[in-house]
Amino acid sequence: MDTMDPVYGSGTLLLIAAAAVAVLLVLIIVLRMHAFVALVLVSLGTAVAAGIPVAEVPTVAIAAFGSTLGSVALLVGLGVMIGRLLEVTGGAQVLADTLVSRFGEKRAPLALGVAALLFGLPIFFDAGLVVFLPIIFSVAKRFGGSVLMYALPAAGAFAAMHAIVPPHPGPVTAATELDASIGLTLLVGVVVAVLAWIVGVYVVTTAWLGKVQVPVDDSVLTGGRAADTDNPPAFAHVLGILLLPLVLIGANTVLTTLRTNGTIAEDGGLVDALVFLGQTPVALLIALLVATYTLAIRRHSREEVETLLNDALGPICAIILITGAGGMFGGVLRYSGIGAALSESLADLGLPLVVSAFVIATILRVAQGSATVALTTTAGLLSAAVTEADPSSLQLVALVLAIAAGATVLSHVNDSGFWLVSRFFGMDVKTTLRTWTVLETTLGVSIFVLALGVWAVG
């Protein structure tokens, strides 16, 4: 979706955005309006207030809503169906029991986080989180307490990898825009992601955020149906189902990267087929088919399996719609030109380059919600200054990390990911702000501190 020329200056647009967020919070928290209705209402009102022609407002809002649904609905739908089969057949419990027996009860959050870091290398945040839901809920039900003690380390791990490690689109785009080495960004990014996760996610969760009481509610996966504990599948079988999309997506990533740098030819039937199979929705669909015909059909009749899969989609309708409406709100803000207006006003802050990268990305992230837009816009804005400064290869990577750090902090109501986390784990808006927003901020700040260190070394 294109961006219109701003009708107002950046100061006015910022005030409109701030007022829209405030109104949204009042509607949801104080007046108890349903989040989906509130988001649609505020999105339309914000579009009019920002100067979008009234006749274009529905088109712009629907386009932003559809764009978000296009990236979320398939992944969430397929992922939750896989999760339902793993949960009801006892596969998730087998995984949870194995993790706990290897790491121990006290290290269960660490085990979930480390596993999510590994899975998060090739898999996008939302897809990884959905696939991990049954494991998170199984571990949380076994030990009790707040689900956040187990959910946040895993979700934070996927967020860290998605934010700063190629082949995820944000860091790849930023590195390309700044002419930084993708390979060096990957090597440094993995180390920084792990360190930032330890400090900004795991320590913060175990010491503080995991103690915020949110009860375990896995009805989004099970629909209240008990798992099959009499005839559970083998651990290797369940692990293979989870690893299947990881391998397919990883192959896609490697082959696409090799094509981009010219190592392998652009045309090739086998490579094309592997790249197709490694597209995230296709990989999840294949995993779902394998789970259905090797896991579920052996334990349930075809009619029962059909009912299980059909029932899996019911609880996530609200999640998908609310996430789409969150994307609508962020999309309206972007279309209004707030990013372009802010870019012009932030072009010369007089700050060190690495600090400017973090500050600009942070402001853009808070203003319009999308981390990817904040990453790409900030990288484009700084590209001329970077060329003039002529930093080293390592300092270019530090700039990518600083931009990614700013694009991570302060996830709130204009970010579709905020609503995904909120609804999956049964949190209201206030609790999500107290936990997920804080976690994203501590993660982003940790990344930025490490980026400063890389900048100084470089």
Q: What are residue 38's phi and psi, to 5 degrees?
A: -65, -40
- Spell out the residues 6+ positions from residue 314 whose beta carbon is closer than 8 angstroms to its own: 223
The torsion angles phi and psi of 408, rounded to 5 degrees, stand at: -95, -35
> Could you count the other beta carbons within 10 Å of the beta carbon of residue 219?
12
The confidence score (pLDDT) of residue 381 equals 74
Give residue 41's pLDDT: 92
pLDDT, position 398: 94
**Confidence (pLDDT) at 448:** 97
Burial 90-114 (b: 16+ CB within 10 A, else e): bbbbbbbbebbeebeeeebbbbbbb
The pTM assigned to this predicted structure is: 0.77
pLDDT, mean over the chain: 82
Residue 346: what residue type? L
Tens digit of pLDDT at every position of the chain (458 positions): 566 666 777 778 778 888 888 888 888 888 888 878 888 998 899 889 888 889 889 998 998 888 878 777 887 788 778 877 877 787 777 777 787 778 777 888 998 898 888 877 767 787 778 878 888 888 888 888 899 999 999 999 999 988 888 767 778 778 888 888 877 888 889 899 999 999 999 999 999 999 999 998 776 665 555 555 667 788 888 888 878 887 887 788 778 777 776 667 666 678 888 888 888 788 889 988 998 888 877 777 778 888 888 877 776 777 778 778 877 887 887 788 776 666 666 655 667 888 988 998 898 888 777 777 788 778 877 777 787 788 888 999 999 999 999 999 999 888 878 988 998 898 999 999 999 999 999 999 999 999 999 999 87
pLDDT at residue 226 in the model: 54
Largest CA distance in the chain: 68
